[in-house]
Amino acid sequence: MSTTFHRQVQFTRILRAGDRAREFNFLKMNNVAQPAFHVDVADERGERYIFYLYQEGEGWRLSGEAVPKWVTEAAEQICREAEKPEK
């Protein structure tokens, strides 16, 4: 019997989103064909928003339910941070 271990890649980045610096937590998903990240961030009231980043071709696509406007406005910056650990 053989056991295979997969390394979990997780990291936190402080990014400016909306009018504040916010803590974005990234977790690389190993069980999907294309590179993808599970990302969560809290707002000023402590509510946590969860969304996913999927790589499509040369770019990244953000998907999730009820993602606030300040997250979608910062999508380019969030995607840049997702690419950094890959290098």
| N-to-C CA span, the chain | 34
The domain segmentation of the chain, as residue ranges, is: 10-86
pLDDT, tens digit, 9 for 90 and up, residues 63-87: 988 899 999 999 999 999 988 765 4
* pLDDT reading at 56 higher than 60: yes
Q: Phi and psi for 53 in degrees, rounded to 5?
A: -115, 125
1 — pLDDT class (breaks 50, 70, 90): confident
Long-range contacts of 23-31 (CB under 8 A, 24+ apart): 24/78, 24/81, 26/81, 26/82, 28/85, 30/6
pLDDT, tens digit, 9 for 90 and up, residues 35-47: 899 999 999 999 9
pTM for this prediction: 0.85
**The amino acid at 58:** E
